[in-house]
Amino acid sequence: MPDIDAATAAAPSPLPPAPRVLEIRFTGSGSEYFRIWSVNMLLILVTLGLYLPFAKARRIRYFYANTLVDGQALSFHGDPRKMFRGFLLLVLLMAVYSGAGRFSTTAAFVAFLILCAVWPALWRASLQFRLGNTSWRGLRMRFDGTLRGAYLSCAPSYLPAIALVGGASALDPEAIKAAGGGFTPGLAIYSVGALCMTLFAPWSLTLFKRYQHDGYRIAGQHSRLKLSVAKLYLLSLKTMGVAILPMLLGGALMAVFVGLSRTLAGPERAVLGMVLFSIGLALMYLLMFAVVMPYGAARMQNLAWNGTRSEALAFKSRLKFRSLFALTLKNWLLTALTLSLYRPFAAVSTARLRLEAVQIESSEDPADWVAAAHAGHADATGDIAGDFFGIDMGL
């Protein structure tokens, strides 16, 4: 009789169950959002901008309510009155900076240093507020990034920016003229700061993304982003390569236009040449942004989310450049033709494309997750700052 224990040990272990796919769908429509957008714009104009945080809260609620993850919509619980306090704080900071700039260049530089000192804390507060007031399936999300991490993430972009602004403040036209157009200390500091900002940009973006994605929490899930600096530098080189194509095409068009203008004689030649040159320059500018921005956005989204994991979740992003390029070109043209009235339709279509390009694989059933004992984060002082400075909230 065979050894039952030996046979059992030799039997292959059962394969782990296939991960469950949590599909993301966006159900918003341009006509619905157009009504919200038009009312928001009207109230912003009537209140001279004071309605901005309330308009932002309405916009977030609409987009969250129409973002379904595994059939369950996101919810936003942020209080627009608290967001209004953050808005006032930002307005105060920018007013101080602007006023200092009119007083003297030294005062402007000191104000810039103060702004740099508080901005990472505002950025962290922004992330805490947004995530702390976002829920899915009744589970509140959280952001647990440290204050120290926020400052370290900003350092590679802050130090060159401080040198750039400090050098600009020290520029003396008379000293430059006396040096025969050569380098002065202020111009040297300015140039080094500008060069370092360019060289450090991919490194800075990597640190920003790591800080954001490493701080996301929901229930017992703790996300981590695996993203190397080398990948961001490679993406930057590819993006610059992609930018060459519209530049060459625009240059060729301008050369053709200039050639056409030379077939005429008299004053019409100069006028037509100027008009055709302006058209060619505008087309090159349009193609540059219509190609470069979608390429960088699509590749960045895929890199960031494909490298994000938690204990039970894995994200897959398959956003295609050609799809985002075609949509971006369509949105820009229709927005221009409708004098910006197409903007809400463009926002909805872009959100649908980018969200539905992402899917989530879960090795656990989210219905079994237990909500963490965290209430929504009440501090909204940094929320408007995230949008003002163009920081991607990662949502």
| Tokens (6 digits) for 61 | 């609620």
Mean of the per-residue pLDDT values for the chain?
85
Ranges of each domain in the chain: 241-366
pTM of the model: 0.85
DSSP class of 390: T
CB 175 within 8 A of CB 145: no
Query: Is a pLDDT exceeding 80 seen at residue 17?
Result: no
Of the listed ranges 20-29, 53-62, 169-178, 232-241, the least confidently predicted one is 169-178
**DSSP assignment of 285-340, as one string?**
HHHHHHHHHHHHHHHHHHHHHHTEE-SSEEEEE---HHHHHHHHHHHHHHHHHTTT
- The pLDDT, as a whole number, for residue 247 is 78
Q: What is the mean pLDDT of residues 154-183?
A: 75
CB 94 within 8 A of CB 357: no
- The pLDDT, as a whole number, for residue 388 is 46
